[in-house]
Structure 1
């Protein structure tokens, strides 16, 4: 219902138009709820992301009605994982199905199109300045350019990523935790194998994933202190990181960065605890940052959107109270994500210790079934890993 041009009433407001926010907004619009999706940035744009959709995500994409739209983007098909330590020791494992490599630039644009087709009102370049509870809902103050607006919604879902937003709900990050820098760039001139690779070195890791059109996405997560002052550009920092692992350094020797695809984010706090609800329900990176070895960030975003939209629908129908929504959603997130999180950090801790990581990798090559089970333990669980 439109009250006036500056004052709107919705069933749901989703704050943040990344993967999780766009998916949860579409899912709720598909169920008939009047939904607004708000983001402070313009789209499409490149974002720091591994750009990897694991086999476990395929059933989720189908459930959200996004499978065909993703396929239309012509993603790369990936069937193996490769881990490479600083000394050159490597472990390669088959995946439990087909994974997809797809850029966030393409993925976000597609998700926005699908959300709008479902009936979502998309507001980008719009800053949320406050979210205030009111009787039977929330009042949201926004600003687009210099124009203030007021949005009212029965429910609000936080999908604003890992960074705390000034004036909005959320805990402050642990100031003593180790800080990382996340960087990414697309490259040509790199052989695009059907493999997602992780190269480890002292102070971080580099991920390599083929995406659409024969392009390769290179991401790096590096310790802030270990690389402070090493390079003034994103591609320079990627080159500095690559020099710490001779295998990836050689792999990128003929790589040519594609202009306009660079992105960075800092600080990244990997030790942030899962938080499914803090005044508002949270989805995607706003809820949880998975360790790199889980390799499942995009799937996690989609799964959290799928779970949250189901509980939100019940709440809006009057079948759940707000406290019941909070309890049941939080329990679901804990049940599905804590296992992969614990295993991911356990394996991550081994990788960060050169002697232990080399011994563990050699043992894994001798017992591939055990290695395969450990890798699966870091991933979301889906009953049917459907082949594409």
Structure 2
């Protein structure tokens, strides 16, 4: 019987598997897709994220991929106003296609058994363990494990949950992304506001530019039949963005979309099992530290999972401590993300903000800093969070 089963091989799931495997626990990871693969993501890695990669032992391997260097952030409103801020430390732009593969390989090196092209069809508590239904090309199987961790992404797997998902926003979005060639960048991550949505641009490895968007699903219908067409149609709502993309070409096989996406109103950190990353909270993409948040939730859950497996904590104590920790970490950034999104779509506010930022440049720095996670809070039980 494995000690831990991780469902999902993305950023949160693979980093959790690295931690659990490194702690000596017999860990298995399942993902219904095969790797490498593209993902609808802004692909911006904040300095805080890079520090976690050092802790996980993958920083050198990721740096060898020659990620795009990012030293500033730029916000471009629909009326043409621009606010720019310099980052305190350089950040990276790195595709999920490359990054996720490196993390999964590191999980295997840490001792995790990785099974891609394999989905989990059921989870049920059974006599102090969990009974897990597994489905792959080879057929179906039943597996028992001491613990299970949900890292299945933005779509709540209600068929696997013991309780309904927590409240999510009513607006259904579509997340889309493509890599472009021929779109010059100046070491900046750029956020362009359009009507009821936004499009981000950032450099990634190989001289490519990642273009990712979050758009209301009902407003994008019949706007195109491909990710490229949808991006260019949406970009027409921001003159500067349309001009930026006009000379670019989409790199083949980099287009990807996901829908529907609902932004979380509050963290949803536990169903029948603990939930990490986007499964625990879908953060507005304009919040600039989403991947750091996913890594942080995985690290915290690995800490409590280790204590549970060592019989130093009950499942109920784990649930209470992890839920309280994630409320502290996520509640404020979810609220901030909703407020920033609402304000940016008001006709007058962006103009006032742009004018104020011209007079007080430090205002732009403050806004960019507000979209980054602060220092990590200690675990609820008061120890250092590293087991």
State the partner residue of 1:117. Answer: 109
Q: CA deviation at 1:127?
A: 1.4
Partner of 1:231: 224
The equivalent position to 1:334 in structure 2, one of 327, 342, 354, is 327
Match of 1:141 among 111, 133, 145: 133
Structure 2 equivalent of residue 213 of structure 1? 206
Q: 1:176 to 1:287 in 2, by over 3 A?
A: closer
Counterpart secondary structure, 1:363: helix
How far is 1:340 from its partner? 2.3
Q: Which moves more between the two structures, 262-271 or 171-180? A: 171-180
Partner of 2:34: 42
Deviation at 1:349, TM superposition (A): 1.4
Partners of 2:311 and 2:96 in 1: how far apart? Answer: 36
The answer for the alignment partner of 1:78 in structure 2 is 70
Aligned structure 1 segments of 4 or more residues deviating by more than 4 angstroms: 172-176
Superposed counterparts of 1:1-388, under 5 Å: 9-165=1-157, 167-169=159-161, 171=164, 177-382=170-375
Could you tell me which runs of 5 or more consecutive residues in structure 2 were left unpaired when the two chains were aligned: 377-387
In the superposition, the TM-score normalised over structure 1's length comes to 0.93
Question: d(CA) in 1 for partners of 2:48 and 2:168?
Answer: 34
The Cα of 1:176 is off from its aligned counterpart by 7.9
Distance 1:72-1:382 versus aligned 2 partners, 3 A rule: farther
Deviations 1:180-213 (A, max 9, x none): 1111100101103210000001131110010001
CA deviation string 1:210-264 (max 9, x = no partner): 0001000001111112111111111100110111111010011110100100000
What is the TM-score when the length of structure 2 is the normalising length?
A: 0.93
Name the CA shift for 1:335/1:166 in 2 (closer, same or farther; >3 Å). closer
CA deviation map 1:44-81 (0-9, x unaligned): 11110000111121222222222222212211111100
Is the contact made by 1:64 and 1:306 (CA closer than 8 Å) also made in structure 2? no
Counterpart secondary structure, 1:281? coil
- Does structure 1 conserve the Cα–Cα contact (< 8 Å) formed by 2:8 and 2:153? yes
Q: CA deviation at 1:277?
A: 1.4
Shift, 1:365, TM fit: 3.0
